[in-house]
């Protein structure tokens, strides 16, 4: 069973401490990261995605091997949906997905099959040949999610996947995440409680770069609403 481990992961941006000595182990399942803006969610996800270097003493291991040692092979097991939306505005949705598939080293025939399936599942087929610059926020989120799913990654990192998405599209995204979650490690960040209610198997509360609470969703939520847990940790935010 795949396993991702963080040991004493910290991150400074010059003198600002964004992550403070985080140790945590992620197994297969949906992990919801909940925390207010500035908690360190994106920093953590960028580090796990391998695109941001943590401070020197930090260790990230995938199946017991340090991620820097895995090099390219780590990239092929990662699907990453960044928080930033304004990318590849001049590409059409279909061009963007073909380009990302090529970067991931997926051969063009397999890419065509995967792209058409993903476009369909995310209800993007009709707009696949329109430029991304003309997409609504929800359409952009769905094309970014499609890109993250190319190559059936073992680890899926979704940074605020439902930001700026209307309720109907939110349901499409949440259902898809649930559907594909088998055998994957899914890390999903949000500041919106309802995003991970009924979706996450485990919930991690992040505040000021630290994990303030974590546990199985059903245990944390036994007799308590997630909203009131959120208020307990972040009520002053």
State which of residues 1, 15, 16, 90 lies at the interface with ligand ADP (CB under 6 A): 16
Dist CA 68 CA 8 (whole Å): 16
Q: Which is nearer to Mg ion, 29 or 38 (CB)?
A: 38
Cα–Cα nearest to 97, from 83, 79, 84: 79
Number of residues in contact with ligand ADP, rule: CB under 6 A?
Answer: 11
Provide the minimum distance between the beta carbon of 16 and ligand ADP in the complex, in angstroms, as a whole number: 5
What's the closest the beta carbon of residue 45 comes to ligand ADP, in angstroms? Answer: 8
Closest CA to 215 of 71, 127, 224: 224
DSSP 176-208: HHHHT-TT-EEEEEES-HHHHTTT-SEEEEEET
Residue 43 interacts, among Mg ion, ligand ADP, none and using kind-specific CB cut-offs from 5 to 8 Å, with ligand ADP
Residue 191: closest CA among 43, 37, 80, 45: 37
Which residue stretch of 30-38, 87-95, 124-132, 175-183 sits at the interface with ligand ADP (rule: CB under 6 A)? 30-38
Shortest distance, position 195 Cβ to ligand ADP, whole Å: 14
What angle (nearest 5°) sits at the alpha carbon of residue 11, between those of residues 7 and 12?
Answer: 150
Q: Are strands 202-207 and 29-34 parallel, antiparallel or unpaired?
A: parallel
**Smallest separation (angstroms) from ligand ADP to the CB of 44:** 7
Q: Which residues bind Mg ion (CB under 5 A)?
A: 41-42, 83
Q: Which residues bind ligand ADP (CB under 6 A)?
A: 13, 16, 18, 35, 37-43
């Amino acid at each position: 069973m795949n396993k991702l481990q963080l040991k004493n992961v910290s991150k400074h941006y010059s003198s600002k401490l964004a992550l403070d000595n985080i140790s945590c182990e992620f197994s297969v399942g949906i992990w919801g990261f909940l925390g207010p803006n500035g908690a360190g969610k994106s920093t953590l996800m960028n580090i796990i995605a391998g695109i941001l270097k943590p401070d020197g003493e930090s260790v990230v291991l995938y199946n017991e091997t340090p991620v820097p040692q895995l090099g390219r092979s780590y990239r092929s097991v990662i699907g990453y949906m960044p928080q930033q939306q304004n990318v590849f505005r001049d590409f059409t949705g279909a061009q963007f997905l073909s380009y990302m598939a090529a970067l991931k080293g997926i051969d063009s025939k397999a890419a065509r099959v995967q792209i058409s399936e993903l476009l369909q599942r995310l209800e993007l087929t009709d707009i696949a040949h329109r430029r991304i610059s003309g997409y609504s926020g929800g359409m952009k989120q769905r094309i970014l999610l499609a890109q993250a799913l190319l190559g059936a990654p073992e680890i899926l990192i979704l940074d605020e996947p439902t930001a700026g998405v209307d309720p109907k599209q939110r349901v499409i995204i949440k259902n898809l995440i649930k559907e594909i979650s088998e055998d994957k490690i899914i890390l999903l960040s949000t500041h919106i409680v309802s995003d991970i209610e009924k979706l996450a198997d485990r919930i991690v509360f992040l505040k000021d770069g630290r994990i303030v609470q974590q546990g199985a969703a059903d245990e944390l939520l036994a007799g308590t609403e997630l909203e009131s847990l959120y208020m307990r940790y972040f009520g002053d935010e």
